[in-house]
Chains A and B, each alone.
Chain A
Amino acid sequence: MPSVSQLIRVKVLFFGRLKEIAGRTQDSLDLPAEADIESLFAHYAGRYPELQQYRSSLVASCNQEFAPWNTVLHAGDEVAFLPPVSGG
């Protein structure tokens, strides 16, 4: 059972308008063990309130694979928040 004081460090990437709102392309964050992608997003929505309105129109990835919001994170994971894609 993980200790509540245990922290994991994850890398976070922002793209498109999220990058503009956060004013950065990437960040590194320490989270409680067992944190999931949803709680990671909530952290940034707290820091950058404008992000919240985009929550329902984003998908997330973990280690470069699309990932459900309840994906539990591990130390060293690379998480990205991805707006609707518009390549082509």
Chain B
Amino acid sequence: MAAPSTDIIALVHEPIDREALAALVRGNGDGAIVIFDGFVRDRAKNRRTLYLEYEAYEPMALAKIQEIAAHIHNQFSVHLVAMVHRLGRLEIGETSVYIAVSAAHRSAAFDACRYAIDTLKRTVPIWKKEYFEDGSIWADGELPPLPSATSAVKPAS
């Protein structure tokens, strides 16, 4: 399959095809791909997890992931970015988020991939509910920064 000329940004309700995504970002001009594969752990805070359910504010989540990819291209010398998050019910061991970044050199790919997952976890409106044998809870999350806080004018220094 020919490599796409664009990034791959998606929210999916079925299992993520990791190998296909890694292949899609791989180009002949690249020397490295760094992958983040986030999957469902069998416990949370010493409680045995049965399964997870993810939900999203889908159009906003897609837009926010696209912003992350755009920022990556501005900040890092990378070729292509794939960022795919799965929604719905996920079993132990299933991939919930998959990020692959291709680049000519490893350093940019590592930095971009780290930025991608860290920023996704902080700013993309996706929520995880954890199901245990004796109940369920919404996972502790991070409060995205409000624009009024992030766009405050800094004094010249």
Which residues from chain A sit less than 8 Å from chain B, CB to CB?
13, 15-17, 57-59, 61, 64-68, 80, 82-88
Q: Which residue of A lies closest to B36 (CB)?
A: A88
B38 to chain A, nearest CB (A): 5
The complex places the Cα of A16 from the Cα of B128 at a distance, in Å, of 8
Number of interface residues of B (CB under 8 A): 34
| Residues on A with beta carbons closer than 8 Å to the beta carbon of B125 | 15, 61, 80, 82, 85, 87
The complex places the Cα of A48 from the Cα of B128 at a distance, in Å, of 23
Which residues from chain B sit less than 8 Å from chain A, CB to CB?
38, 54-57, 59-61, 63, 85, 96-97, 117, 120-129, 138-148
A80-B60, A85-B121, A87-B85 given; name 9 further pairs at CB < 8 Å.
Answer: A15-B125, A15-B127, A57-B143, A66-B147, A68-B148, A82-B144, A83-B141, A86-B138, A87-B125
The complex places the Cα of A59 from the Cα of B122 at a distance, in Å, of 12
| Residues on A with beta carbons closer than 8 Å to the beta carbon of B120 | 87-88
Whether the Cβ atoms of B63 and A85 lie closer than 8 Å is: no
| Residues on A with beta carbons closer than 8 Å to the beta carbon of B38 | 88
CB contact between B55 and one of A15, A59, A88 (< 8 Å): that residue: A15
Whether the Cβ atoms of B117 and A61 lie closer than 8 Å is: no
Q: Is the interface of B mostly helix, strand, loop or mixed?
A: mixed
The complex places the Cα of A38 from the Cα of B59 at a distance, in Å, of 23
| Residues on B with beta carbons closer than 8 Å to the beta carbon of A59 | 143-144, 146
| Residues on A with beta carbons closer than 8 Å to the beta carbon of B124 | 85, 87
Most chain B CB within 10 A, of A17, A61, A84, is at: A84
Q: Which residue of A lies closest to B61 (CB)?
A: A87
CB contact between B140 and one of A68, A82, A86, A88 (< 8 Å): that residue: A86
The complex places the Cα of A68 from the Cα of B145 at a distance, in Å, of 10
